[in-house]
């Protein structure tokens, strides 16, 4: 487990945090105050309401401890309890189109959330351009989602090496699929819990302990066998994580408040000339 933490003001010109994650020099890069904390914090506060529903999707509703609330698509680029093998590429693109702009709209007309995300990622991309992933017919992938984890919920131990899913049929051949990087910025932190916990256990290691049935990981056994690190982030902070390579989870939330984040995935293209992002 190797990580690096720095303030946005200290990010060197043409920093290549993304390349460093690909090369395995780091598994996690935390950039404090990468975004305007006041802007993100205000959106997080407004979204953290039991009376105002901006249109949350709840793809894990049937599994209450994992009941993440999502804005930006009804068909995320990951397995969910609603779609355990991920959705089809068609359903993914339809979900992205139907929800296009809904997450960004939460920031109001004065803040270009997608542009800000692209600009922040570009500072960590080694001088490479950063572009939204697009289908062969030009349709855009979802640029990011906003996620809310309320009291008692969590994101269980997993990795995001999902290139074999149908929804990656067009994208994976364009990418260096050695890993997949998560980018996540915090809008609002919970009272307790909600830390990102990252393990030395690798997604391609068949020896990582699993529960009977072979599907879910055995968390206590993983915790006993592998080193881990915990990351606490506040409004405006960003992390990049080698989510395709490292097992990770989000600790159970103690709220209120809820934990509200925005994020997605990114990868280098095959030629290492561009960074593509999607959610």
Ligand X SMILES: O=C(O)CCC(=O)C(=O)O
- Is residue 190 a contact partner of residue 253, using CB atoms and an 8 Å limit? yes
Q: Minimum Å distance from CB 86 to ligand X?
A: 14
By CB under 6 A, name the one of 99, 118, 123, 147 that touches ligand X: 147
Nearer to ligand X, 118 or 188 (CB): 188
Residue nearest to ligand X (CB): 182
Contact call for residue 117 and ligand X (CB under 6 A):
no
157-177: string of b/e by CB count within 10 Å (b at 16+)? bbbbbbbebebbebbeebbeb
Shortest Cβ distance from residue 174 to ligand X (Å)? 21
Binding status of residue 263 toward ligand X by CB under 6 A: yes
Burial of 53 (0-12, 13-18, 19+ CB in 10 A): exposed
Q: Among residues 242 and 271, whose Cβ is nearest to ligand X?
A: 242
Q: Which is nearer to ligand X, 125 or 247 (CB)?
A: 247
Contacting ligand X within 35-94 (CB under 6 A):
none
Give the residue with the Cβ less far from ligand X, 109 or 204: 204
Q: For ligand X, which is the closer residue by CB, 116 or 160?
A: 160
Min dist CB 196 to ligand X, Å, is 6
CA R_g for the chain: 17
Is the N-terminal amide bond of 256 cis, ω within 30° of 0? yes
Q: Which is nearer to ligand X, 127 or 256 (CB)?
A: 256
260 contributes a contact to ligand X by CB under 6 A: no
Q: How far apart are CA 244 and CA 30, in angstroms?
A: 17
Check binding of 266 to ligand X (CB under 6 A): no
Quick one: which H or E segment has residue 199?
strand 196-202
Under rule CB under 6 A, residue 160 binds ligand X: yes
Answer yes or no whether residue 184 interacts with ligand X by CB under 6 A. yes
Q: Exposure of 104 by Cβ count < 10 A (0-12 exposed, 13-18 middle, 19+ buried)?
A: buried
Q: By CB under 6 A, is residue 250 in contact with ligand X?
A: yes
Per CB under 6 A, does 243 bind ligand X? yes
Task: Give the residue ranges of DSSP H helices in 76-164.
Answer: 89-98, 102-105, 113-122
Residues near ligand X, by CB under 6 A: 147, 155, 160, 182, 184, 196, 241, 243, 248, 250, 261, 263
């Amino acid at each position: 487990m190797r990580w690096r933490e720095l303030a946005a003001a200290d990010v060197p010109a043409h920093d290549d945090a993304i390349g460093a994650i690909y090369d395995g020099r780091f598994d996690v890069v935390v950039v404090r105050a990468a975004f305007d904390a006041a802007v993100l914090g205000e959106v997080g506060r407004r979204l953290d309401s039991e009376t105002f529903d901006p249109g949350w999707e709840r793809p894990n509703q049937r599994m209450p401890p994992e009941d993440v609330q999502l804005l930006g698509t009804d068909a995320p680029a990951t397995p969910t309890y609603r779609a355990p093998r991920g959705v089809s590429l068609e359903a993914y693109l339809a979900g992205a189109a139907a929800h296009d702009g809904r997450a960004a709209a939460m920031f109001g007309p004065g803040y270009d959330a997608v542009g800000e995300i692209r600009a922040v990622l570009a500072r960590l991309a080694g001088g490479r351009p950063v572009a939204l992933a697009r289908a062969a017919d030009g349709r855009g992938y979802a640029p990011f989602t906003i996620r809310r984890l309320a009291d008692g919920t969590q994101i269980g131990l997993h990795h995001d090496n999902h290139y074999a899913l149908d929804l990656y049929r067009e994208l994976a051949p364009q990418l260096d699929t050695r890993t997949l990087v998560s980018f996540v910025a915090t809008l609002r932190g919970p009272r307790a819990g909600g830390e990102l916990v990252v393990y030395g256990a690798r997604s391609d290691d068949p020896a990582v302990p699993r529960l009977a049935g072979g599907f879910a990981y055995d968390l206590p056994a993983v915790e006993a066998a592998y080193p881990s690190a915990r990351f606490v982030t506040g409004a405006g902070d960003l992390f990049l994580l080698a989510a395709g390579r490292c097992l990770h989870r989000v600790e159970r939330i103690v709220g209120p408040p809820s934990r509200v984040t925005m994020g997605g995935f990114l990868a280098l293209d095959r030629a290492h000339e561009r960074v593509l992002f999607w959610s």
